[in-house]
Homo-oligomer: A and B are copies of this chain.
């Protein structure tokens, strides 16, 4: 089943011009007719969509990645990475999961997907991975120091509220699951 891309609430129109092409970010501008007939230059950013995987291990602990990049405070979050141009979303999730952890999973369930901001065309896809098995070593580049952390659901909920936890988009789902056992079962 093809996973649909979440639509931005202010799509970049086809006639928009790419005014800057960066390493991560491209900037688009276009002339937008306003409600009163005047025109204004609108601007919006595009970056490659990202997959983020929360893996549930056999003992029900959840795998988080503690990451240290050069020049950056450590961060904590799911296993994640960019979807290559034209790459299938689920394939990207499997590829990033294997590269960053050396693991494969029997099941990848799409948990939620969303656009993060009206002025940035950028979709996030959150997956839950189950039936996890080690098949290889990690495959990292010189800019990454990655440590595995295994947390219980309650530990994850607590840590999700701290500044180093990156995926704030799922905190609300975790909290809801905490208060609602049916939803917890789903996870």
Contacts from A to B (Cβ < 8 Å): 9-11, 13, 19-20, 22-25, 27, 29, 32-38, 40-43, 45, 47, 69-73, 75, 114, 116-120, 141-145, 161, 163-164, 166, 168-169, 171-172, 175-176, 179
Contacts and interface: CB of A to CB of B under 8 A. Distances in A.
A70 B10 CA distance: 9
Taken together, the copies of this chain in the complex come to 2
Q: Is the interface of A mostly helix, strand, loop or mixed?
A: loop
Contact of A35 (B145, B164, B169): B145
A71 B28 CA distance: 15
Contact of A25 (B45, B70, B72): B45
A36 B127 CA distance: 31
Contacts of A166: 118
B71 A42 contact: yes
Contact of A27 (B22, B34, B71, B118): B22
B35 A23 contact: no
A150 to B, nearest CB: 23
Given A34-B70, A42-B71, 14 more contacts: A9-B73, A10-B69, A10-B71, A13-B71, A25-B119, A33-B70, A36-B142, A37-B142, A40-B143, A114-B168, A116-B116, A116-B117, A171-B172, A175-B175
